[in-house]
Structure 1
Amino acid sequence: MSFADDLLKQPTAAESEFKPRTEFDGATGGYIQTGPLDTAPKSHIELLEAFGYDPDEVQIVGAPRVSRWQTYDERWLAAYRFTIAPHILGLDVNELLDSIRDREPHQPTGITTGGAFVFQAGDLQLGKIDGDGVQGTIDRYFAGVDKAIADLKQRPNIGAVHLAYVGDCIENGGVSQGGKLAWRQSLTVTEQVRLWRRTLLETVKAFAPLTDELVVSVVGGNHDDATRLPVQTRADDNWATEGAIAVSDALAENSAAYGHVRVQVPPRDQGYMTVGVGDSVFTLLHGHQFRKGKAADWWASQAFHHGNPSGADFLLHGHWHELAIQQAAARTIICSPTLDGGSAWYRDKTGAESRPGALIYTTRGPALENLSLV
């Protein structure tokens, strides 16, 4: 070796050979990283099985991240990184309709008083990976439904049941916050909507036998928007209300069992609605229409301009992820807590975590009774 060669020496790295690898926490998600391949994997099922996963329990979501390079002998190779998540199994459309058609006719309860039992829920954000993820949200939600039904059975002379959903029913990370949350979701948007739709349907089926007037009110939140970038859509163009409309269509297949159920969503290009249930009047909206703590100002402005909310006894909303109640004279504002698994970003920033759950309470005209977090 010449002196010049000696001067040209460099500390070349001893590169570690790339090996296929995978990680999966069993609850929210993980990844599969393939080794160098001449061709793309042809079967997701075979790929999952090759890495030791059961395709009935784990699924590949979204498109893979691909790295390509050319070898010294001019061959092109590629490595693929696949996102994996728990497999959400569900009924197809025909099975969904069959589950409605097979229900027995409704047996009237005979209760005719004006009171309303309210089950208020919001910010499920189905598909969000934070905290205990989708499974935690579903478990928490249906535990609340079970407690609500047990409570309803102990409250005599309640003439109507109001299932009030105040938005952000799905995560839709590709739309919210300019799409920055697209990677922080374990389900595709269609899977999120499917899960929301079937969750709502199962809730209706659980409450329907217990009342002669079941009202299902659904408004959309900012996470529910069908699209926002690069163009804004109408206020009513969202997945929360579309899921409710699908449930309404399914219920119509068996009017004998569900003729006493009324599903309602806001009118065209409007993000809120004012509805009567029993002898109480409710305005529902998500809450992204105003700053935190400013619900009363929004309500006052609507009343000043003779909007329908001026006649409401109750303003129900979500968005702020914590229980809040404000009362003045005959008006009551109720903000839903969240039902999702929390926010890692908010916890890191402030240390705070919301207490999740749904709300149950009884209304009689403008009166509020027996509110509980379930």
Structure 2
Amino acid sequence: MSLADNLKTAVANQASPKDAPSAKAEFDGETWDVQTAPVPGAVITDFSDILREMGIDPHGFEVSGKPRISRWQFSYRDMDGEMVTEWRTAYRLNLAPVQDRINLPALYAEVARDSEKRQSPRVHGPSTVVVCWGDVQTGKVDHLGGVKELLERLEEKRETLREYLKRTPHDHIVVADVGDIIEGFDNVASQIRTNGLSLMDQVDVAAVEFWKTIKLCAEFAPVDVLSIPSNHCAWRRGGKQIAGLPSDDWGIHINKRLEALNAEVGLDVNFHRPASDYIEMLEFDIKGTKLGLAHGHQARNPKSVCDWWGKMSHAGELSCDILLTGHFHFPTFKPSGRNAATGRTKWHVQCSTLDNGSAWVRNAFGEDGDPALTVFTINESGFDVSGFALL
């Protein structure tokens, strides 16, 4: 073996120190955990070539979170026997499936067209239609799909609502945000990996989709919009710890934002929120019938909602004829007590979810209702049982 051959062998051995990380990729059925081999040169941000070499489709997976980067100087002798020092870099990547991208400018263009006030033909009658916008959980990915499937579902529900309003006698509409209008990131650790939208995009998309529903209802009758705090929309710090007041809530924020938008557009719409920053529920009078609105997360399970309602009434809150809640992802309505002054039955309505399904609710309670838009009517005699429908 010549001296040159010996030098080549020495250089090759020096280029791969024993403590350098080796390339490795592990797949858990949904995400990749990737450790790259040392890469010479400057820090890179495009990992497409590395992923291809490892057999991973860079168009099907994207980096989730921030890459962990290790850099060190490495010295060795080149072919001429001169000492060379260069930087080596290794990367640790978490890869998640690429999610559908939302064209937010296109969504905002929908809002920009709202200066045109439209009216649709309706059947007049002395009733209020209550539209329950419940548990949309914008940005959530579950067994029924992701962002694309959610937007398609909401558009379909709006068209069904339009047909319902055309045939249902009414002179007033209440649109109730029953809570969890966004998914958020602080309820469970997996949200950072499974959500299809950032927090900012969740709020943007949720606001636009809610506005489109409000605008549709305003074509038919005067509208009152109700919003209350909820667990997915709460401002949290360090996991599940509440960081502020009950009113520090993304659903409340969206209500205020749309109220400001409507001040410029001028639709016949009024916006309502709890009377105090410290209260998680509200009451709204409809033709002499009090509608109470709460998300429902205050109760431990679906069967205990009415027990919680009784405690709130004892505390001077939710002294209402109808309590509307969500949270548990399946619809019910049932009688619960009686109004001593009017003699009428009091009702609890638990509205449907509009989200992409809830594996959590299914695993915890054995229930997972189909997505639907819950509607019901209130007339001079109170809750009209015949007007309850799932659209």
Q: Which TM-score applies when normalising by structure 1?
A: 0.77
How far apart in 2 are the matches of 1:61 and 1:116? 49
Q: Any conservation in 2 of the 1:116–1:280 contact (CA below 8 Å)?
A: no
How far did residue 306 of structure 1 move?
Answer: 3.0
When residues 168 and 327 of structure 1 are mapped into structure 2, their CA distance, relative to the original with a 3 A threshold, is: same
Letter in 2 for 1:193: V
Q: Any conservation in 2 of the 1:358–1:373 contact (CA below 8 Å)?
A: yes
Sequence identity of aligned pairs in percent?
21
Q: Which residue of 2 aligns with 1:363?
A: 378
How far did residue 247 of structure 1 move?
Answer: 1.2
SS at the partner of 2:192? Answer: coil
How far did residue 163 of structure 1 move?
Answer: 0.9
Deviates more, 1:87-96 or 1:137-146: 87-96
How far did residue 47 of structure 1 move?
Answer: 11
How far apart in 2 are the matches of 1:85 and 1:22? 18
Q: 2:349 aligns with which of 334, 346, 355?
A: 334
When residues 349 and 108 of structure 1 are mapped into structure 2, their CA distance, relative to the original with a 3 A threshold, is: closer
Q: Which residue of 2 aligns with 1:218?
A: 227
Deviations 1:26-66 (A, max 9, x none): xxx96796955444445799999x9664xxxx996863332
Q: Which residue of 1 aligns with 2:310?
A: 300
Q: Any conservation in 2 of the 1:62–1:188 contact (CA below 8 Å)?
A: no
How far apart in 2 are the matches of 1:284 and 1:339? 17
Matched, 1:199 2:209: yes
How far did residue 338 of structure 1 move?
Answer: 1.9
How far apart in 2 are the matches of 1:61 and 1:274? 46
Q: Any conservation in 1 of the 2:134–2:326 contact (CA below 8 Å)?
A: yes
SS at the partner of 1:226? Answer: coil
State the structure with more CA Rg.
Answer: 2
Matched, 1:169 2:160: no
Q: Any conservation in 2 of the 1:126–1:169 contact (CA below 8 Å)?
A: yes
Q: Any conservation in 2 of the 1:225–1:238 contact (CA below 8 Å)?
A: yes
How far apart in 2 are the matches of 1:206 and 1:110? 12
Q: What is the aligned length?
A: 341
Q: Which residue of 2 aligns with 1:241?
A: 252
Matched, 1:142 2:144: no
Q: Which residue of 2 aligns with 1:373?
A: 390
Q: Which residue of 1 aligns with 2:67?
A: 65
SS at the partner of 1:150? Answer: helix
Letter in 1 for 2:331: L
Deviates more, 1:163-172 or 1:231-240: 231-240
How far apart in 1 are the matches of 2:307 and 2:175? 26
How far apart in 2 are the matches of 1:306 and 1:201? 33
Q: 1:317 aligns with which of 313, 320, 325?
A: 325
When residues 88 and 253 of structure 1 are mapped into structure 2, their CA distance, relative to the original with a 3 A threshold, is: same
Structure 2: segments with no counterpart, 5+ residues: 1-20, 76-85, 339-344
When residues 129 and 94 of structure 1 are mapped into structure 2, their CA distance, relative to the original with a 3 A threshold, is: closer
How far did residue 140 of structure 1 move?
Answer: 2.2
SS at the partner of 1:363? Answer: strand
SS at the partner of 1:210? Answer: coil
How far apart in 1 are the matches of 2:226 and 2:48? 40
Q: Which residue of 2 aligns with 1:86?
A: 100
How far apart in 1 are the matches of 2:167 and 2:124? 17
Letter in 1 for 2:357: G
Counterparts of residues 103-142 of structure 1 (less than 5 Å): 103-104=116-117, 113-131=125-143, 132-142=145-155
Q: Which TM-score applies when normalising by structure 2?
A: 0.74
How far did residue 203 of structure 1 move?
Answer: 0.9
How far apart in 2 are the matches of 1:17 and 1:61? 19
- Higher RCO, Cα 8 Å, sep 6+: 1
Structure 1: segments with no counterpart, 5+ residues: 1-15
Deviates more, 1:72-81 or 1:284-293: 72-81
SS at the partner of 1:274? Answer: strand
SS at the partner of 2:375? Answer: strand
When residues 112 and 269 of structure 1 are mapped into structure 2, their CA distance, relative to the original with a 3 A threshold, is: farther
